[in-house]
Amino acid sequence: MSTLTMVPPVVVLLALAIVVSRLPRRVGHAVGALVPALAVPWAVMVPEGAHLQTQFLGFDAVLLNVDPFSRLMGIIFGLIAAVAVLYSYASEADTTQTGFALSYVATSFGAVFAGDWLTLIFFWELMAVTSTLLVWHYGGKAVRAGFRYALLHGLGGTLLMAAILRHYVEVETFLFASVPGGPETAGITSGLAAALAAIGIGVNVGFIGLHAWLPDTYPRPHIAASVFLCVFTTKTGVYGMYRAFPNGHEAIAYMGGGMAIFGALFALFQNDMRRLLSYHIQSQVGYMVAGVGIGSSLAQAGAFAHVFNHILYKGLLFMTAGVVIYRTGTESLKKLGGLWREMPITAGAFSVAALSIAGFPGFNGFVSKGIIISGSHYTFSKGPLPLGEFYTLEWMLLLGGVGTFMSFIKFGYYAFFHGEYGSSVPDANRLQSVAMVSVAALCVIYGVYDAALFTILPFDVTSGAVVDHVYETYTIPHLIEGVVLAALGLIGFAVTKKPLSKLGRVPDVDRLYNPAVFYGSRSLVVGVTELYAAVDRAVVQATSVVTRTVTAPNDVLARLRNDDSLVHPMRAGIGLSILILAVFVTVALLALS
Amino acid sequence: MIEQIPVLLVVLPIVGGAVPLVASLVSDRAGWPVATLTLIGQVGLAGLLAWSVSTSGTVSYAVGGFAAPYGIELVVDGLSGAVALLVAVVSLGVLAYARQAGPHSGPFYGLYLLLVAGLTGMTVTGDVFNLYVFLEITGLAAYGLVASGRDASAAVAALKYLIIGTVGASLYLLGIGYLLAATGTLNMADLATKIGEMAAYDSTLVLTAFGLMIGGLTVKVALFPLHTWQPDAYANAPDTVSAFISALVSTVSAYALARLLFSVFTVEFLSAVPVARWALVGLACVSIIAGSALAVSQDSVQRMLAYSSVSQFGLVVAGFAIATPLAVVGATVHLLGHAVMKGGLFAATGIIERKTGATTVNGYAGMGSRVPLSAFSFAVLSLAMVGVPPAVGFVGKWYIVLGAVNAENWAVVAVLLASTLLTLAYFARLVERLYFAEATIHAEEPVPEDAPVTDGSGQAVSFGMIAVVVLAAVLAVALTAAVPELQAMLEDTLPPLLNQ
């Protein structure tokens, strides 16, 4: 066992979280950024295989399981955590919040390096707890949103737990298939377990209908907390989805396509910057879910490439939005404008991130989104509604791409380019700029040198022996596709700009189920309380009667007979006793003979 | 020498009992020292006998040299040896209590020792008619002791006890007659072989004898519904007597019942006549439930304790009637443990009444601080009776339940478990009153006028009285350690009785 595999990363990071919350702000954040940064080389070098096999709650467990999937997650989680801690320091986050954030990072590491379902669900639930704490820490409106967040994730976690238990009943082990002693087939057993797992994980990845916590929660806490939040929960969800469905599932693939469109569409309606970005998490995670759902090695490599890239540009987007809020105090796009003059670095970083997320050639989103779309075309069925050469899932994903262009043109237009900003505001401070520029640089590097990305993917997409269809990023049709999407996005925005600006807040599903849950639980509580009170009254009444009869039977009997002279009406006298004895013996003898 | 001990055990208290009677003509003060000396000797002899039984097995002695089956035989095995030792120890302990609590008259100690003689005789005898004789001696001494209380209710209680007890004993005698008619012998060992040989187990003679003898003893054991004499007797007798007879009289009667079951009718009879076993088990179960229910409904603590005995003896008889080795060990442990616990509880009520005037459950409120040591002992004994480990009450019930489970007698298991809850119901009420309730009787208030003053010996409480109660509480826990020894002793001597 090498030194790299002696302790699971979660232990180190949890200790770090505690240390950071106790240290002075500057030192704490320095240490807090350094250690996750060291996790990147650790994740690159740690040998593959199942380490730290142990017993957990009496079952076989693997606390450190390294394969290409978890390695990729470890690299990007460490990288973004380091940058986000730096950004937290620059954005005046206190050490307690960063401590919570690092515990959230730690539990995410625990989840993606788990080698069995039990460890995975354990850290999965802890992630929900730590992220809720991170949201709550900000106070104010974040508290109620945090409650809703915790409730939904508790529900999702429970469903996943049920799925895992059902799975355990079938295969009699919690271990993953790749781990020694694991079951023969990977993934969760089909049937009920699979359905439960899909819905449970679906909460985390934001399935349509289960996604409302995303735009509800992420805009509310501290701007640095949003950077952490946008990374870990949904991406760990994608990772979990892969573990549960290593061979994909058609329904999941189409759900991914739906999410891509739905998220982009609703993002278009938003004026709150972080709310808009949150819908885009759903949209982008839709691509990843589609990739996992397709199930081919090409699509899954694409999904994980997209996880990697998405974490970079979405982290960057939340950072730029955060800087705008930090400097202007305004969340709404309607009150902003012309900021590129005031904060050129932020505007530049935003542009890179926006082009990346939209998938414009030369940026990393173009690479990974391309792999998934290629997978949807070459390695997936045509589907029920093929449009010409475009397969069903393919055009869904492309349509989502158009929506993404539109909404980021909208974001950029209203925040940075449209009109003039009334007053003078400074640009991002130095450390914020360092954080943003370094991530922006990575977005471009991985976009241009796509081979750098390909080397860390679980499947080599450039080798025909590994994938069904060899992927090449920069081909003429693919470039045209990227540019056409951008053009369509531009036209679309120009056409819809006016109606969109008049649009108020568009209701999402949570408008429906928040009151439903509120009034439902309220009536349940009231009903239960009233019922309990009624039962309680009846029981107390009955009990007092019984108690009286039992503890003072003489009184009761005397009262029944209306005769106070009977002091001990139940006490047998001598004659009665003898009578009883005689009867008793007679009965006994009759019974015996 | 060892063979003579059984007869010495009976003779010694009879002789010792005569001395105070004579001495009382001169002085009333001679009674206690004489009784103490006698009983110290008794404890020594009983201890020697029990040790001898546990090392070298059953001891038997033919009275007057007439060999069994014609002469009277005294037989001491593990069961009777343990009960004989219990009788000696408890009567010596209660004596320490009586030093202060009284009554102080010479005749009282005479009756006291006579009762010890009767109880010991019942324990060691190997002859059914001899058992009847000692049963009557025990009864007469007990009636007299109950009547030694000064108020009228004690006399009434004693009369009730006398009439019902005598009828019960007569039924037993009637049963002996039937047995003699069936087999022509009175010796237990001889009867055990002849019942079944000379008269079939299900012959009318044997069945009638069984019904009458067990029915008669049931009166003495005070199982529901034949318990009616018992609460009056226990509650109205002087505290010393209450502690004494509650600890021993029913206990030895229950022992006699077990002796009849195993040494006379034998387990084969129970197997051959399942209705007999079912009747006994059913009676025991009814007694457990009814006794507990009646105990819950009592105001007076002493009456509550008396009804508690009805329930606990149901438990013991159930254990004997199930008659698997484990259940018999459990029943014996509970029989002995109950004697110590119940005697200690009655003694504690006496102390609490003398110090505070409290006699009722409500009166016990807040007394934990007024009489700390006695109240604490009372609480310990109560919990031991409920069956909280590691007290001996737990061990006994545990073995009985295990035995019932082994016999797959699930109804009994359910009743036994329910009985623990019921026991908890009335004892928890008392412990809660003692420690967690606002006092209803305050120190500055004089003792209520109408509080029953049991004997005129004043309200003082001696060190000896408290020592007895504390010792009982300690024993209630410490006896658990002796259970393996007792179990070994019973397993050495019981298999021939159980034939299993």
Calculate what percentage of chain B has a pLDDT beyond 70: 95
- Inform me whether the pLDDT recorded for B444 exceeds 70: no
Q: Is the pLDDT of residue B118 over 90?
A: yes
Number of separate domains in chain A:
3
pLDDT for residue B456: 41
Residues A402 and A298 in one domain: yes
Asked if A491 and A536 sit in the same domain, the reply is no
- Is residue B363 classed as helix, strand or coil in its secondary structure? coil
pLDDT > 90: what percent of chain A? 19
Provide mean pLDDT across the span A177-189: 81
Q: Are residues A315 and A340 in the same domain?
A: yes
Q: Is the pLDDT of residue B454 over 50?
A: no
Question: Is pLDDT of B252 > 90?
Answer: yes
Whether A418 maps to a domain, the answer reads yes
**Minimum distance, in Å, between the CA of residue A539 and any CA atom of chain B:** 18
Domain interval for residue A182:
1-210
Q: Which of A350-364, A565-579, B408-422 has the lowest mean pLDDT?
A: A565-579
The vertex-A308 CA angle with A303 and A311, nearest 5°, equals 115
Question: Is the Cβ of A588 closer than 8 Å to some Cβ of chain B?
Answer: yes
CB contacts of B218 in chain A (<8 Å) are 584
pLDDT tier for residue A568 given thresholds of 50, 70 and 90: low
Shortest Cα distance, chain A CAs vs residue B231, angstroms: 10
Query: Quick check: A331 pLDDT over 60?
Result: yes
Average pLDDT, whole number, for chain B? 84
Q: Using the beta-carbon criterion (under 8 Å), do B226 and A584 form an inter-chain contact? A: yes
One domain for residues A253 and A181: no
- Residue-wise pLDDT tens digits, B84-112: 999 999 999 888 888 877 777 778 888 88
Contact flag B160-A588 (C-beta cutoff 8 Å)? no
In a shared domain, residues A317 and A185: no
Residues from chain B that touch A552, judged by Cβ atoms under 8 A, are 297, 299
Decide if A40 is inside a domain. yes
- B312 Cβ neighbours under 8 A, 6+ residues apart: B291, B334, B338, B342, B385, B423
Statement to judge: residues A347 and A407 lie in one domain = yes
Does B226 sit within 8 Å of A592, measured CB to CB?
Answer: no
pLDDT band at A171 (very low <50, low <70, confident <90, very high): confident
Average pLDDT score over chain A: 85
Question: Residue B457 pLDDT > 60, yes or no?
Answer: no
A174 and A38 in a single domain? The answer is yes
Cβ separation B219–A581 shorter than 8 A: yes
**What ipTM score was computed for the predicted complex, to two decimals?**
0.74
Boundary (domain end) residue, out of A162, A190, A210: A210
* B297 contacts on A by Cβ (under 8 Å): 550-553
Q: What is the pLDDT of residue A258?
A: 92
Same domain for A524 and A498:
no
Residues A335 and A276 in one domain: yes
Q: Residue B334 and residue B331: Cα distance in Å, rounded? A: 5
Q: Is A282 a domain residue?
A: yes
CB pairs below 8 Å between A and B: how many? 67
What's the pLDDT tens digit per position in B220-249?
998 888 888 888 888 888 888 888 888 899
Which residues in chain A touch residue B163, judged by CB atoms under 8 angstroms apart? 574, 577-578
Are A290 and A193 members of one domain? Answer: no
The reply to whether residue A592 touches residue B296, judged by beta carbons under 8 angstroms, is no
Buried (b) or exposed (e) across A158-169, using 16+ Cβ within 10 A? ebbbbbbebbbe
Residue of A nearest to B299 (CA): A551
Residue A441: what pLDDT?
93
Q: How far, in Å, CA of B17 to CA of B137, rounded?
A: 13
Q: How confident is the model at residue B500 (pLDDT cuts 50, 70, 90)?
A: very low
Closest partner residue to A584 (CB to CB) among B210, B215, B296 is B215
pLDDT tens sequence across A252-305: 999 999 999 999 888 888 888 888 889 989 999 999 999 999 988 889 999 999
Say if A223 falls within a structural domain.
no
Interval A568-580 mean pLDDT:
73
Could you tell me the pLDDT band of residue B276, with boundaries at 50, 70 and 90? confident
CB neighbour class for A460 (10 Å; exposed up to 12, middle 13-18, buried from 19) = middle
pLDDT band of residue B197 (cuts 50, 70, 90) is confident
Q: What is the pLDDT of residues B9-52, one digit of tens each?
A: 888 888 888 887 777 777 777 778 888 888 899 999 999 998 88
Q: Do B275 and A591 touch (CB under 8 A)?
A: yes
- Please report which helix (H) or strand (E) contains residue B76, including its range: strand B73-76
The confidence score (pLDDT) of residue A305 equals 92
Do the chains contact at B210 and A592, CB–CB below 8 Å?
yes
SS3 B187: strand
Confidence of residue A307 (pLDDT cuts 50, 70, 90): very high
pLDDT bucket at A63, cuts 50 / 70 / 90: confident
pLDDT digits (tens, 9 = 90+) for A374-421: 888 888 888 787 877 788 888 888 888 888 888 888 888 888 887 777
pLDDT, residue B453, reads: 45
Average pLDDT of the segment spanning A144-159: 85
In a shared domain, residues A577 and A488? no
Given a cut of 50, is residue B449 above it in pLDDT?
A: no
Q: Do A592 and B225 touch (CB under 8 A)?
A: no
Task: Indicate whether A75 and A194 sit together in one domain.
Answer: yes
Q: pLDDT band for position A563 (50/70/90)? A: low
Res. A56 pLDDT band, cuts 50 70 90:
low
Report the C-alpha gap between B263 and B273 in whole angstroms: 16
DSSP secondary structure, B6-43, as one string: HHHHHHHHHHHHHHHHHHTTT-GGGHHHHHHHHHHHHH
pLDDT top residue among B496 and A100: A100
Q: Domain extents for chain B?
A: 273-442+460-500
Give the tokens for residue A481: 């596709």
